[in-house]
Structure 1
């Protein structure tokens, strides 16, 4: 499904389940799919890393409310609450499915760190709506109970120097029953901050979503 006829970039507010989450929605002209960026903490919709890999229509938002984010910066208690993060992301998926601007788009989920676990959990719970998943430096192992139920093709991207996370991703990949790929970016650490590494992540991510969301 292709829409709208003209491009759109707007701040939005998504209210559901007695909470309200702020986001930034970009819908380019003739968009054919929507990528939802999901992050546990410390990588909000204002992150330049997120905007760099934004392709197709995109929704950047915070999984935590501002009050929760303030607490989490001190205690780290919310970023590892995978059930909470997954529930929030499911709420967002349902919201975009009911919104006139985004309804009908095939959906891709992009998750970093613990947001990757939420993305895989939400993909399992909304298998009829999620068409592709990308994890960047993620912790898919934290979604272990959901992995066998994921139906969307999944790309797991890990830095070559992020040895512990490589092992966790390899274990998680072994539990996926759907088409999947583990891409290890040589010389990259957890945040892919080395020269040229983020560009590699961007290309891998863009190609995966364009293939599975837009058929390109």
Structure 2
């Protein structure tokens, strides 16, 4: 990665302003949108750490809030929005439509990185925008909340779960049977739901980078060398 450009943006969709952080390496191999959930925001330290590692692999990242400031404050009081999957997926779809109108970003192949309830929104958006979304990664995500959309997803899906996150693993394993596209259930040994254990979030970032670089096509010359990343294994693979 030769250089990187950082931008603070305000994305207006449907009369709502969503603050965003864009990091664009030069050259960039693709653009990964981070879909937060369960009351999180663009300032999530875990997603920011993963984003930095993706940037090092020449992947642009867009971290944005799915809720307005007023909605976020209300959600902190009663949690009413964090499980509103219809609202979260609608906001994500609106941001994907906004991307198409941005000349400097529209040409980049798009991947989605979803966490918690944001993973469900990411999968629904992938089902609704099969030509735009090229790959999806879920980190400790509630993929089960995507419902019938799981069977309509065409982008390759990587589901990353800690072995100590037993309930999410059970829900994800059952729900993933509805996925008809290429997918992998990757287990991170010794990690709980938030991957706070030493080195576990780095494993998440490595797996995500490998998945995106495998499935996001290069927008420019094929002769350009790709950064070295760790490969992915078979389905339901412990790591």
Assess same fold via TM > 0.5. yes
**Aligned partners of 1:214 and 1:75: how far apart in 2?**
42
**Aligned-pair Cα RMSD in Å:** 1.3
- Work out whether 1:47 is the aligned partner of 2:44: yes
| 2:22 matched residue in structure 1 | 25
Structure 2: runs of 5+ lacking an equivalent: 219-225, 227-239
Q: How do residues 105-124 of structure 1 correspond to structure 2 at under 5 angstroms?
A: 105-124=108-127
**Aligned partners of 1:15 and 1:8: how far apart in 2?**
21
Q: Are the equivalent residues in 2 in contact too, given 1:41–1:69 (CA < 8 A)?
A: no
- Work out whether 1:184 is the aligned partner of 2:187: yes
> TM-score, normalized by length of structure 2?
0.86
| 1:193 matched residue in structure 2 | 196
- Work out whether 1:69 is the aligned partner of 2:72: yes
Q: Are the equivalent residues in 1 in contact too, given 2:162–2:193 (CA < 8 A)?
A: yes
1:205 aligned residue (203, 208, 218): 208
Shift of 1:189: 0.6
**Aligned partners of 1:41 and 1:167: how far apart in 2?**
19
Instruction: Please list the CA deviations of residues 19-41 of structure 1 after superposition, one character each: whole Å capped at 9, or x if unmatched.
Output: 11110111100102100000124
Shift of 1:211: 1.1
**Aligned partners of 1:172 and 1:198: how far apart in 2?**
24
Structure 1: runs of 5+ lacking an equivalent: none
- Work out whether 1:100 is the aligned partner of 2:103: yes
**Aligned partners of 1:214 and 1:127: how far apart in 2?**
15
2:150 aligned residue (133, 147, 165): 147
2:32 aligned residue (35, 43, 48): 35
| 2:221 matched residue in structure 1 | none
> TM-score, normalized by length of structure 1?
0.94
| 2:131 matched residue in structure 1 | 128
Instruction: Tell me the SS of whatever aligns to 1:53.
Output: helix
Number of aligned residues = 212
Shift of 1:214: 4.3
**Aligned partners of 1:9 and 1:42: how far apart in 2?**
24
**Aligned partners of 1:31 and 1:202: how far apart in 2?**
17
Instruction: Tell me the SS of whatever aligns to 1:7.
Output: strand
| 1:81 matched residue in structure 2 | 84
1:170 aligned residue (161, 168, 173): 173
**Aligned partners of 1:40 and 1:197: how far apart in 2?**
20
